[in-house]
Amino acid sequence: MEALSLPAALALVAGGGAGLSPERRAALGASLPLVQRDYRFERVWFWGCIQGVRGAYYIAEGLGPDRAAPRSRLYSLNCLDWSLLTPATKEMLALAEQLKGRFQGDPSFEYSLAEINAEAAARLVQSGKEPVIKEEARLIATIEQIDRAVGIVPRGAFVKTPLGSVHENRHFEGLSLVEAKKLSSYFHFTEPANLKNKTLLEKADLDPSTDFLDSLEHDIPRGSWSIQLEKGGTVVVLRSLLWLGLTFYHVPMTKQFGYVYFGTGEKNLDLPFML
């Protein structure tokens, strides 16, 4: 969610128990504008918090002119001092998926690869490296997984130019209340996968400038999203049941929307059996 509107946005998603202490909010209000200035980001989003056993990781994302370009991610242990994270690699994502259990809250904590993936551990030993994966690498991969799976935006909030870059739609005035209650009105804000498989007949009704992302209505398993009206029916809130802790909000007929994650960084693998 937008760093500048953080206090108001957190109040809109507080129905699920997500939130920050006044001290943390004050720290973020002071540090995030400095992060934007120092790293020369066009926008800074507060992504959320992954709670570990001994501490928590607070995450922020920096955006450039092209909103679909890879985002710079930073983490902090105290909401004041921020460290830049390296981009996630395919190997990092594959190994992180095999890690089970809670985060420790210590970026330097090491997981033994020999217990997780013997082949990957053997490759590292052969190349002269220790067969371990640091928690910082797991953090990078988990943020990437969550963003790809449940990072969402309303339909029409962003437009794709003929050159391929994605920008905020200045003419977007929010979804109507009727549209805001439909899963088809929300898109995954990542590289589309299902869109490429659609037939020409299905694509004929799509606007290439706004319908360039995958809709939530085809998410698997079906029923992995909960839609609710809160604040007297003035706010539409979507919660992911696959990544528990991800909350998206949108105030219909306004430009106010965003998502935030407050959780343990663990995927709900039991969801197919719960539906």
pLDDT of residue 244: 92
* DSSP letter, residue 89: P
What CA–CA distance (Å, rounded) separates 263 from 117?
26
pLDDT digits (tens, 9 = 90+) for 72-100: 999 999 999 999 999 988 888 888 888 88
Q: What percent of the chain has pLDDT over 90?
A: 51
Q: Is 257 left (phi over 0), alpha (psi -120 to 50) or beta?
A: beta
Q: Is 63 left (phi over 0), alpha (psi -120 to 50) or beta?
A: beta
User: Per-residue pLDDT averaged across 4-20, rounded?
Assistant: 79
**Domain range annotation of the chain:** 1-85, 90-142, 152-264
**pLDDT per residue as tens digits for the range 220-274:** 888 899 999 988 889 999 999 999 999 999 999 999 999 999 999 999 988 878 7
